[in-house]
Structure 1
Amino acid sequence: MSLQPLSELPQKPLKINRALLSVSDKSGLIPLARTLHEQNVELISTGGTAQKIREAGIPVKDVSEITGFEECLDGRVKTLHPRIHGGLLARTSHQPDIDEIQELGIEPIELVVVNLYPFKETIDKPGSTPAIATENIDIGGPTMIRAAAKNFTHVCVLTSPEQYEAFGSELKDKKDISFNLRRDLARRAFNHTAEYDAHIANYFNTLTGEETPSQLNISLPKSQDLRYGENPHQKAAVYGHQNEFIDCFHGKQLSYNNFLDVDAALNLIADFQDSDPTCAIFKHTVPCGIATDDTLATAWRKAFATDTMSPFGGIVTVNRELDIDIAKAIDEIFTEIIIAPSYSPEAKELLTQKKNRRLIRIKKQVNVSGNRQFKSIFGGALSQEADITAIDFDEFKTVTKRKPTQQEKKDLLFAWKVVKHVKSNAIVYARDGQTIGIGTGQTSRVESSEIAIAKAKQEGLKLEGTAIASDAFFPFADGVEAAAEAGATSVIQPGGSIRDEEVIEAANKHNMTMVFTGKRHFRH
């Protein structure tokens, strides 16, 4: 079959003579139907859509009048007929098509108005079953949409009530529909059916228990264009449903880098949602100070003490309502983004005084069970389950002669929660619900430890009695030796090195207690 180049396609305005309307979402239907009727367009419709149009006093024909065949199978079959699809697919600028449909008694349909059964909304409802979900898979709707969109040079297609106003205005002003608008609506139509099919495919992947689906189906609407990407010369946009999770209610639009920072902060604070008041400070997606205490203001001071240089222009997140005390403390330095579940009126009044500061409210936690992560690579993407693991000290194994004290257990658990969010190689020193030193992103685990120690000393923080957490096993005993020399008395790490015995022996030599978790927390 030969295909015409786009430049050779008929690009004339399209006069609308007949329209087929069949919608699940009936908002805006009647004003659109009335506009079409006023423009002398013959209306064809189905089921509940036809009934609603008639109730408004607008003339409409049932599809069955056109097809000569009644709807059947509880409405499953109504528009799947040559008199409908011949009218949609006929190229009315192509004489052989015109001759053929005239011979078959088929009349062209220039407009299709269709939106689909609410499949995604159905499966998101509590109590939804596979039987209910399957009944909400639309067949005739996507078929009509795709037919009309394919034939956009001769047919116009509307798939959302949001499109009705612009379409109606052009029809009333010009008495026809331009080629450019039809092509844009076809683009939206194909994106609409692609998203619809992606939801269905992903639902069945889940239903059949396919842990790593044979086909990756990602269909996300564009949330907004961004000013630029990581750097000003890179164009960028954000896709998805970020507004379900956060509300940036004050300050400038979030940038590409801001979204990355916010994502990192949300993932960490979600792990502390059931903890005592917690404050975390981030810079370039890396935590530079985290602390828990009886109040957020105290937690802020302890988190800030970990690294007093990096927080300038950074991100602060908390797990409680942000009150005036911590607001005053944060306000002492320039903080680009503040993230909290809520804000007291006094805190909001103070923090909104600076226009260039972004304030974000957490609407929904991000680390829900079943989340998958994706990362683009050459030729495709990587996918994995999110690193969501319950932390239960009773499931860990103490491998040294000395068992941890109750205080050491608290420090080890805190450090283990934090190290999960530090980039590999990751080392965290912690004590009394406070990070004392953080080493991140080095090619050597010993170097990460040295950086953590150096930062602690630079800030005047004592390392004696600290717990040290490592995101992966210590490959040699030197890392534990260095921690002991710095003053650490307890270690938490995954274990699993071929030199574990040497590492344990080093810990025993320094009377340290060491716990193996059996799980690694790499973050590349």
Structure 2
Amino acid sequence: MTKRALISVSDKTGIVAFAQKLIDLNFEIVSTGGTKVALEAAGIQTVGIEEVTQFPEMMDGRVKTLHPKIHGGLLGRRDLPTHMNAMTEHDIVPIDLVVVNLYPFKETILKPDVTHEEAIENIDIGGPSMLRSAAKNHAFVTVVVDPSDYDLVLSEYQEQQATNITTRQRLAAKVFRHTAAYDALIANYLTEFVEEAEPEKLTLTYELKQTLRYGENSHQNASFYQDALPSGFSIAQAKQLHGKELSYNNIRDADAAIRIVREYEHPTAVAVKHMNPCGLGKGATALDAYLGAYEADPVSIFGGIVALNRPVDLATAEEMKKIFLEIIIAPAFDEDAFALLAKKQNLRLLTLDFAGANQVKKETVSVLGGLLVQDIDNVAEETQDWQVVTKRQPTAEELDALTFAWKAVKHVKSNAILLANQSETVGIGAGQMNRVGSVKIAIEQAEAAGKIAGAVLASDAFFPMDDSVKYAAEHGIKAIIQPGGSIKDQDSIAMADKYGVTMLFTNIRHFKH
């Protein structure tokens, strides 16, 4: 008995070979447009859609498959006499197999010079309608949206002249995922086009990039999904050159590392552990920057992740090779540097294009039962907008160190205190429940390393009490930067003046929860 297949694909990968095997299995093929041309050019006989509908394509192909003789053939239930009688009465032939993929909307809007008109013309209407009709009636119809499923479908037809119901169910679910993602891309494109800031429905779609070995802990399953419209500057788009695959914690730490290092224009390196920077360094070269990050905390960097905003040269690689690192991320690796580092079998080496570092505008965080959406903390800050609120003015060296520290502290878990000089961090207090606790941790670290002299202090939020200022001043800190905004600001200012400390207010808070 002859079966009918409807084939209409934009992605023609493997379609000729697939269609030929369907012919061998006694299928009649109905096709449209470019697919029909491609199949017939390969010597495969097809039935044109107009022959089925007895109605011509029109409006530049916008209207061709939206017809009862198509959707009746897709939606008619073979187990209901009323449906079968209606099909007979109206000369509707059942369609057993649908092979459809959609206009390349995603590829179109990713083009840098795409026009709005071009984007709109690449919104597929007939394709999703056929897919949804076939998927709804998967009890009787096999629907294929992905060329990777051609072999599975063929093997079942070859073995038993039909597909299994479990296969049809899985393919139907895949279709609805596919059309949902397609519609989400269209919805997001049009939402951005009309500049709707807070749509009543948030339609997000992601694509599986990697099945992870496990999650945060070994008993947790995990997967890595990337944006359907990928951002160039993201860990999802980094290119792994060497080493074993990234883990869940690797990915989160690497994300934190690239967020930090993108803040700086000078050669800068950061070492990250558990999503907090443990050391940050800047200098004239990549080597200077890395050594600064290493010397900032040579204990915590062990087993950490290092990101640089400059290519890794041989001299830098030689220093990196001396310790155990999980990952190194950079724009590039010189050939000899890569050869040296690649001798470490498990060290992951990743490259990332830093050109689009500020491309992403929004970020999401999941909570139980919901999702938080906010702007990326990418606010532009100018030092001339900062306010010196104390009697003592900062020196040029202090202002340089304060600028370096302020860019870094916003990436430390709150309550966050960061001590630094002009070229490296010297003490970091992260994630404490009170601010003076973070101050004490940071100062203890700097004193233990013998680097407290000349260090400045950055706080991600205001001081609700003057105890943090007092403690810092008593341990030699002469310059502090903080947002200001506490009802007790004057107490902190007075304490700074008492100890001859300069204090700057930025009027911008950088909590990181």
Could you tell me the TM-score, scaled by structure 2's length? 0.95
Aligned to 2:47: 61
Task: Give per-residue Cα distances to partners, 1:276-303, cap 9 Å, x unaligned.
Answer: x211111111100001012222322222
Task: Give per-residue Cα distances to partners, 1:244-278, cap 9 Å, x unaligned.
Answer: 62112211111111111111111111212x22x21
C-alpha change, 1:304 and 1:446, in structure 2 (3 Å) is same
Indicate whether 1:223 and 2:209 are aligned.
yes
Map 1:452-471; keep pairs closer than 5 Å.
452-461=442-451, 463-471=452-460
Indicate whether 1:280 and 2:266 are aligned.
no
Q: Distance in 2 between matches of 1:266 and 1:471?
A: 19
Aligned to 2:347: 357
- Which 10-residue stretch deviates more, 326-335 or 441-450? 326-335
Aligned to 2:471: 482
- Which 10-residue stretch deviates more, 465-474 or 203-212? 203-212
The one of 495, 500, 503 aligned to 1:506: 495
For the Cα contact (< 8 Å) 1:373–1:385, is it kept in 2?
Answer: yes
The one of 420, 423, 432 aligned to 2:413: 423
Consecutive unaligned residues of structure 2, counting only runs of 5 or more, are 228-233
Indicate whether 1:262 and 2:248 are aligned.
no
Task: Give per-residue Cα distances to partners, 1:90-115, cap 9 Å, x unaligned.
Answer: 12233332222112211100111111
Aligned to 2:230: none
Aligned to 1:178: 164
Please report how far the alpha carbon of residue 154 of structure 1 lies from its aligned counterpart in structure 2 after TM superposition. Answer: 0.8
Could you tell me the TM-score, scaled by structure 1's length? 0.93
Please report how far the alpha carbon of residue 358 of structure 1 lies from its aligned counterpart in structure 2 after TM superposition. Answer: 1.5
User: RMSD of aligned C-alpha atoms?
Assistant: 1.8
For the Cα contact (< 8 Å) 1:16–1:110, is it kept in 2?
Answer: no
Aligned to 1:80: 66
Indicate whether 1:335 and 2:322 are aligned.
no
Map 1:341-420; keep pairs closer than 5 Å.
341-363=331-353, 367-420=357-410
For the Cα contact (< 8 Å) 2:3–2:96, is it kept in 1?
Answer: yes
Indicate whether 1:236 and 2:222 are aligned.
yes
Q: Distance in 1 between matches of 2:457 and 2:199?
A: 38
Aligned to 2:153: 167
Aligned to 1:326: 316
What code does the residue aligned with 1:271 have?
Answer: E
- SS of equivalent residue, structure 1 residue 353: coil
For the Cα contact (< 8 Å) 1:464–1:486, is it kept in 2?
Answer: no
What code does the residue aligned with 1:503 have?
Answer: S
Please report how far the alpha carbon of residue 338 of structure 1 lies from its aligned counterpart in structure 2 after TM superposition. Answer: 1.3
Q: Distance in 2 between matches of 1:254 and 1:185?
A: 30
Runs of 4+ in 1 over 6 A off after TM superposition: none
Aligned to 1:18: 4
Q: Distance in 2 between matches of 1:173 and 1:514?
A: 79
The one of 106, 112, 117 aligned to 1:120: 106
Aligned to 2:231: none
What code does the residue aligned with 1:499 have?
Answer: K
Q: Distance in 1 between matches of 2:357 and 2:330?
A: 16
Aligned to 1:248: 240
Q: Distance in 2 between matches of 1:404 and 1:171?
A: 79
Q: Distance in 2 between matches of 1:410 and 1:417?
A: 11
Q: Distance in 2 between matches of 1:365 and 1:379?
A: 36
- SS of equivalent residue, structure 1 residue 240: strand
Map 1:146-165; keep pairs closer than 5 Å.
146-165=132-151
Q: Distance in 2 between matches of 1:16 and 1:492?
A: 79
What code does the residue aligned with 1:330 have?
Answer: M
For the Cα contact (< 8 Å) 2:235–2:254, is it kept in 1?
Answer: no
Q: Distance in 2 between matches of 1:129 and 1:368?
A: 23
- Which 10-residue stretch deviates more, 502-511 or 232-241? 502-511
For the Cα contact (< 8 Å) 1:270–1:366, is it kept in 2?
Answer: no
Q: Distance in 2 between matches of 1:407 and 1:390?
A: 22
Q: Distance in 1 between matches of 2:40 and 2:443?
A: 77
Task: Give per-residue Cα distances to partners, 1:127-162, cap 9 Å, x unaligned.
Answer: 323322222111111111111111112111111223
- SS of equivalent residue, structure 1 residue 48: helix
C-alpha change, 1:368 and 1:93, in structure 2 (3 Å) is farther
For the Cα contact (< 8 Å) 2:262–2:354, is it kept in 1?
Answer: no
What code does the residue aligned with 1:421 have?
Answer: H
Q: Distance in 2 between matches of 1:512 and 1:395?
A: 20
Aligned to 1:5: none
Q: Distance in 1 between matches of 2:429 and 2:26?
A: 72
Q: Distance in 1 between matches of 2:213 and 2:359?
A: 33
Aligned to 2:483: 494
For the Cα contact (< 8 Å) 2:309–2:354, is it kept in 1?
Answer: no
Q: Distance in 2 between matches of 1:120 and 1:507?
A: 56
